[in-house]
Amino acid sequence: MATFAPDPKAIVLITGANRGIGFEIAKHLATSPSKSYHIILSGRHLSAVESAVTTLKSLPNLHPSTTLEALPLDLGSDTSLSSAASHISSKHGHLDILVHNAAISHSSLSTHTADPHAPERARENWHTIFDTNLIGPALLTDELLPLLSASPLPERKIIFVSSGLGSITHSFREAEAGRLDLTGIAGKFTEYSSSKAALNLYARHLALRLQHSEEQEAEKDDAAEKRGEGEMEGGSAMGDGKGEGGKGKSGKWKVNVVCPGYTKTNLNNYRGTQEPREAAEVVVKVVEEEGGETGRFRDRRGEVSW
């Protein structure tokens, strides 16, 4: 079994990190004045991710202890997901923070028509968007859960970068108030909005599932400690008193969803109202915070309705 030297830096994997919000998240973390990280930037095209890593390494305010790594990752490929998990396992042995940032708003597959909303591309469009925005992140999470479970940090974090368009309550409340036109620009992102609504539900389910497993593990630890105390009183205790197998208690799971806001990115043809740097600040706040709850959906202003 491979052994790994202790590293105080949190290991972070960011999907879709070669540009846009993902790149800015990496940049914020890499230039944090108070904390160092090992940041794994991932994307479909390795050359693009390597270029992003090179750019970050050249920053004058890069934290002196922060390290960066490029990783090819295609959310639509099971082989790619498995390879990425195997690489992280063999090189690092664990993962501390997973940021699901990668997403698309339309299919980019080559067909006989360039219009992504043409009837003949409808099924392809729905499949490709859900594959990238929901199925890929869910399967990647499954691949990485053992590595996240092995994190030595007090909190193991999974952050899903979503959208207010994925909130049914928020979207229709805004539409009724005249602040969101679901028949205009927003209406052209029906597939994207639906995929984000599904992602939000998946994230909520995941948070509850991991919280339940955490509670069960805590009950086992408590029971083991009580058995150990009983054996101590009987004079037959062995080991170091940390529970079964001499293991300490595991860290807590933090699974949360973040809406970064309407941002100028390739996803919306750069029609947003804020820069990627501003959007990344919202995500980084959730990445860096200690304590707090799991299973929450937030934006810059606070809680977002599911």
CA distance 277 to 247: 41
Residue 240 lies in a domain: no
Range of the domain at 281: 10-234+249-303
Predicted confidence at residue 5, as pLDDT, reads: 61
Nearest to 248 by CA among 224, 213, 215: 224
- Report the CATH number at residue 93: 3.40.50.720
Residue 198 burial (CB count, 10 A): 16
239 domain-assigned:
no
Examine residue 142 and state whether it is found in any structural domain, yes or no.
Answer: yes
pLDDT tens column, 255-283: 999 999 989 998 888 888 899 999 999 99
- 123-141 mean pLDDT: 94
Residue 71 predicted with pLDDT over 90: yes
Predicted confidence (pLDDT) at residue 120 exceeds the cutoff of 50: yes
Report residue 40's pLDDT band, with 50, 70 and 90 as the boundaries. very high
- Tell me if residue 192 is catalytic: yes
Three-state DSSP string of 164-231: HHHCHHHHHHHHHCCCCCCCCCHHHHHHHHHHHHHHHHHHHHHHHHHHHHHHHHHHHHHHHHHHHHHH
More confident residue, 216 or 75: 75
* pLDDT value, residue 138: 98
| Domain assignment present for 3 | no
pLDDT in tens, 173-223: 877 777 777 776 556 688 999 999 999 999 999 999 999 988 887 777 777
pLDDT (average), residues 79-97:
98
How many separate domains does the chain show?
A: 1
Q: Identify which has the larger pLDDT, 189 or 146.
A: 146
Residue 196 falls in the annotated catalytic set: yes
CA distance 23 to 142: 24
User: Per-residue confidence at 46, pLDDT binned at 50, 70, 90?
Assistant: very high
Question: Residue 113's pLDDT band (boundaries 50, 70, 90)?
Answer: low
Among 23-27, 48-52, 244-248, 269-273, where is mean pLDDT lowest? 244-248
Residue 1 lies in a domain: no
Residue 2 placed within a domain: no
Q: Which helix (H) or strand (E) holds 160?
A: strand 155-161
Catalytic residue among 27, 37, 192, 264: 192
| Residue 77: inside a domain | yes
- pLDDT-based confidence at residue 32 (cuts at 50, 70, 90): very high
In a domain, 242, yes or no: no
What is the predicted pLDDT for the residue at 266?
Answer: 82
Identify which has the larger pLDDT, 50 or 236. Answer: 50
Residue among 27, 37, 157, 196 flagged as catalytic: 196
* Alpha-carbon distance values, 257 to 5, 74, 277 (Å): 32, 21, 18
